[in-house]
Amino acid sequence: MIKTMGYYIFALVYYLCRLFPQGRKRVFCIMTHDDGDDSNVRLLIKELERVKKGYTFSFISKSEANIVKGFKSLPMLMSFFFKKPYLMARSSIILMDNVFLPMAYIRVGKNVKVVQLWHGTGTIKKFGQDSNTGRLKELENRANRNITHLIVNNQSTARLYAKAFGVGIDKLYPVGLPKTDDILYRLWKMDGGKVNKDKELIYKRKHLSPNQKLILYAPTFRDSNIRSEKTLKQVKDLARLLPDDYVLGVRLHPFVAKQAREGLPERVCNLSDERSLTSLLMAADILITDYSSIVFEYCITKKPMIFYAYDLDEFSDQGRGFYEDYINYVPGPVARTSKEVIDIIKEERYSIDRIEAFNAENFPFLDGKAASRIIDLITNSK
């Protein structure tokens, strides 16, 4: 009830502020999932500032949204419910990386471009309208009606996202995402200078030995395992079996990371507080994940991946489920136990051919110009 009242207040102020003139070069940025420097929205802003002049930007950040949710600051609450809808109402472009539920009670003007730069570069597991139920599904569907541009990498993802967001395929634009550009730029710099600046930074910050290889373990948050015992058990099992020349870096969901702050085994490095996921992807020598969309970003580096799906049957039957046959779709070996993971590492049973095929299927544009294409769409089209 309290959340619904908040949505109504935001929408009411928004509609009142529609009486003020709209700025053709005003941009309102909703970054409630990722407000880091290497997020899709932030990267697009950076490119827009570089190639176009006169644009102004207003923001709702992830940290600000969390403060408002927790009722931790009266000034922040007043800003969120009165200043932010005013700024949004006066903007001609709205950039977002998540579903913003107050928009369920808003219909933007016909000349406003609402650009959804979803935080996931692709998807393995079902989400949105394909997995949510009840009130949340209804609100998301109503909020998504405002989307004018849903940005994706390719036509097959466009078809999936049209259904997951509940929008027409005509709203989908398979032009690539700014995150892809960012990873490519970092790889190209390495090709030129042979120095991995991200690896140097992470190793220095976490006091890692240059003689050790970094394994990044980034598991999906399990809705059914709120206390996260299963995930933490996998971390301990992997650490116990890990070869001497490796260190295990864990990137955990914020809730799980909070549980894991104490008692992590030796040779396990908690990377959950690192703001830049892209830096971690560049620093890692191997990625271990399961059902996370992180695979769509890491595969661009063409480094080894292992899919540790210890609860595959349970996740498939009782969890969200998948869009494709999981074992045949993922670009790497699938393991069910910690021992299987470590055996794959020791024997180097990776599949670079599958990674290259996965890239070819999912990234028709790997040219570093995705942000430019998006900017052309939203600033030149009528």
Q: Are 2-176+367-380 and 180-362 in the same CATH fold?
A: yes
Long-range contacts formed by 343-347: CB under 8 A, 24+ apart: 344/306, 345/215, 345/243, 345/246, 345/286, 345/306, 346/243
Q: What is the DSSP string of 220-262?
A: PPPTT-TT-HHHHHHHHHHHHH--TTEEEEE---HHHHHHTSS
- Residue 99: strand, helix, or coil: coil
Tell me the two tokens of residue 308.
């540790």
Q: Which residue has tokens 């990044």?
A: 216
Q: Quick: pLDDT tens for 113-148.
A: 999 999 989 999 999 999 999 999 999 999 999 999
pLDDT at res. 192? 73
pLDDT at res. 273? 87
CATH number for the 2-176+367-380 domain, one of 3.40.50.11820, 3.30.230.10, 3.40.50.1970, 1.20.1270.360? 3.40.50.11820
- Answer whether 0.85 is exceeded by the pTM: yes
Average pLDDT, the chain: 92
Instruction: Report the 10 Å Cβ neighbour count for 149.
Output: 20
List, for the chain, all residue ranges whose pLDDT scores fall below the cut of 50: 226
Dihedral of CA atoms 68, 74, 80, 85 in degrees, nearest 10, equals: 150
Instruction: Report the 10 Å Cβ neighbour count for 353.
Output: 9
Helix and strand element counts for the chain (H, E):
18, 12
Taking only Cα atoms into account, the Rg of the chain, rounded to an integer number of angstroms, comes to 21
Q: What is the DSSP string of 107-141?
A: ---TT-EEEE--S-SS-SB--GGGT--HHHHHHHH
CATH number of the domain located at residue range(s) 180-362 in this protein: 3.40.50.12580
Q: Quick: pLDDT tens for 254-280.
A: 666 666 666 677 889 999 888 899 999
pLDDT at res. 1? 74
Tell me the two tokens of residue 186.
């970092």
Domain boundaries, the chain: 2-176+367-380, 180-362
